[in-house]
Amino acid sequence: MAKQIKVFGASQKVNHPVEVEAFLRELLAKPPRSAKKLEQRKYEFSAGTKVPTIQNRDLIAVAKQQNIKLPRLLEQMLQKRSVRTISGVSPIGILTKPYPCPGRCVYCPTEDRMPKSYMSNQPAAARAVRNKFHPYKQVFNRLTALAESGHPTSKLEIIVMGGTWSFLPHRYQSWYLKRCYDAANEFGLSEAKKKEYRKVATTLKKSQTWNETADHRIIGLTLETRPDFINERELVRMRRYGCTRIEIGVQTLNDDIQRLTKRGHSRKHVVKAMKLMKDFGFKVCWHLMPGLPGSTPENDLEWMKEVFSNPDMGPDFIKIYPCVVLETAELKEWWERGDYVPYHDDDLVKLLTQFQTFVPEWTRIMRLMRDIPVSNILDGAKFSNLRQILKDQPEKLRELVGDKFYDEHNLAETSYIFRDIRAREVGFADFEKNPELLTIPPVLVRRDYEASEGQEVFLSFEDEKKEHLFALLRLRKPSGQPFKHYASALKNAAFIREVHSYGGEVSVGDTEGLGQHRGLGRKLIEEAERIVRDEWGMDKISIIAGIGTREYYRKFGYEEKSTYMVKRLK
């Protein structure tokens, strides 16, 4: 524990600090309204002072040195890839060590010295390799990179990748996640404070307790597994780790295709897992894979519609990973024999433009393509920006799908734009075109639906047109199935499965932003409590809180019981 771990991403020297500070003062006096205007101002300043064009990272560094609070919009313009934290948290993707996989899926790459289904030149995988898959190094170095590029890092979502988490040895799981909490807790501490922390944080539980009030809190933890590995004991273990979201590789709802591709589970496993996970309060993300051997675009569209039309399904998040041919996958042999032909760009765009119209407002499309480098794909679709094409590139869209499909499906109509959560997050809004979003009072919206033999209520604060989303809450009345564990939290309780405010991350303790620190979360919780008490006749709510959010819920009278935050309603 005492051994010093080498980290990457040390601060670099600011070039021309006097001129950088002078330019920063100019920006603060008259902030630019767009990134384009910021670049124009930088060019004009450079021409007038004869210094090289000022880098955003230098402006951020000087602001920190001078303890200058940047206006939120200017801060986002200066941040490298501001989209990383625009949803209100700082996501940190890390990989577990290479370990045998229980699956034999024909489409998965099997690169040496890598976890199953990952390739060493993928961004997150490359970072993991550089850090030798060590969890502390991966988290600490990612925090360093985010902080150096101007992102707030007080609210962290750790996303653990690397195959089937549930198949890893339990001892390794506990060690791995403790080191994640250690990295978050120690980031930014002096050496003396680190020594003090290490004397105290001798167990996973103690590291988690420290993280409840740390400067860098893990407010969400995502673990990946398979539907057939989900059972009550596994969910209890995940809760002890602080897990709040589970990603499962569903791939397809067609059992014949699952057998053909050697997936090893069926839709009955998916249905059972969904009921268990949601009744435990977890958020659930599905991985979907159109274009598998034995399927057609028409068949894919049918089962993809069922993802949301069937109450036994209904994931909260989806990631779409179209099947492609990769060098180290068994599927390559099928492709070489002519037994498999993948979808190409036009097939896939047609399929996904139709599918996204069935995705409800309470689901978030997290990915439309996996981040596989194009150089790794032997055959299959290679585009990765469908959202951008649909919203901003009508000519490109028409070229991809053809005139007939474009006109038949009215793709020129604005109503065809995505309606999922990510598409409506207020942080992605164009504030030059919609300046009123900076000042308007959001409106409370309610959407009810059935899911896994229970009842779900999706509460949100949106603008009057329901085009921009400021905050959300997921409330569940469970199916009533009995559990042997965690009775103090699970028995006779309604569940708040998520509370989330959007508009860019605002650090803990800072003033309000577009969605965060405006009291919207409190108002959503109060409305959820009213529904549970007055409409459902229940007197207990449990929140599946991340470790770093426990302090927040304590403000509203919730107490920790069996890893949940629980409140009795009067």
DSSP string covering 117-146: T--TTSHHHHHHHHTTT-HHHHHHHHHHHH
Tokens of 225: 């597994």
**Average pLDDT across the chain, whole number:** 89
Average pLDDT, stretch 40-66?
Answer: 81
Q: Using pLDDT thresholds of 50, 70 and 90, give the confidence band for residue 373.
A: confident
pLDDT digits (tens, 9 = 90+) for 110-147: 888 888 888 888 888 889 999 999 999 999 999 998 88
Percent share of the chain, pLDDT over 90:
62
Confirm if 145 and 56 have CB atoms less than 8 A apart: no
Percent of the chain with pLDDT over 70: 93
pLDDT of residue 86: 56
Is residue 287 in some structural domain? no
Domain's final residue, options 57, 78, 99: 78
- Mean pLDDT for 321-340 is 95
Q: Which domain holds residue 524?
A: 424-568
Residue 533, CA atoms < 13 Å, CB-side half-sphere: 10
Q: With 90 as the cut, is the pLDDT of residue 4 above it?
A: no
The tens digit of pLDDT for each residue in 494-534 reads 999 999 998 654 454 444 455 444 789 999 999 999 999 99
Q: Which helix (H) or strand (E) holds 448?
A: strand 443-451
Condensed to tens digits (0 to 9), the pLDDT of residues 223-255 reads 999 999 999 999 999 999 999 999 999 999 999
Quote the pLDDT of residue 340: 97
> Which of helix, strand or coil describes residue 309?
helix
Average of pLDDT values for 101-105? 90
| Positive/negative CA dihedral, 167, 169, 172, 177 | positive
Asked whether residue 447 is assigned to any structural domain, the reply reads yes
Q: What share of the chain is helix, strand, coil (3-state, %, to 5)?
A: 40, 15, 40
Looking at per-residue pLDDT, the higher value among 50 and 307 belongs to 307
Bigger pLDDT: 90 or 159?
A: 159
Instruction: Give the separation between CA 468 and CA 151, rounded to whole angstroms.
Output: 23
pLDDT, residue 10, reads 45
Predicted pLDDT of residue 54: 82
| pLDDT of residue 7 exceeding 70 | no
Indicate if the pLDDT at residue 165 is higher than 80. yes
- CATH number, domain of 531, equals 3.40.630.30
pLDDT, position 380: 92
Residue 373 domain flag: no
Residue 470's region, left for phi above 0, alpha for psi from -120 to 50, else beta, is: alpha
**E strands within 143-264?**
155-161, 217-225, 245-251
In this predicted model, what pLDDT tens digit does every residue of 524-570 receive, in sequence order?
Answer: 999 999 999 999 999 999 999 999 999 999 999 999 999 999 999 98
Residue finishing a domain among 31, 59, 78: 78
Residue 472 belongs to a domain: yes
452 domain residue, yes or no: yes
CB 301 within 8 A of CB 348: no
Give CA separation, 300 vs 238, 258, 291, 365, in Å: 32, 13, 7, 17
Determine the pLDDT at residue 416: 59
In a domain, 238, yes or no: no
pLDDT at 116: 82
Does residue 299 sit within a domain? no
Q: What is the pLDDT of residue 3?
A: 53
Can you tell me the distance from the alpha carbon of 289 to that of 480, in angstroms, rounded to the nearest whole number? Answer: 32
Confidence of residue 17 (pLDDT cuts 50, 70, 90): confident
Which of 78, 97, 120 is at the close of a domain? 78
Q: Three-class SS of residue 44?
A: helix
Residue 430 has pLDDT above 80, yes or no: no
Q: Which of 162, 176, 159 is nearest to 118 (CA)?
A: 162
Residue 501 inside a domain? The answer is yes
The count of domains in the chain is 2
Higher pLDDT, 71 or 489: 489
Exposure string over 373-389, b if 16+ CB within 10 A, otherwise e: eeebeebbbbbeebbeb
Answer yes or no: is pLDDT of 41 > 80.
yes
Better-predicted residue by pLDDT, 257 or 391: 257
Give the distance, in angstroms, between the CA of residue 497 and the centroid of all CA atoms in the same chain: 15
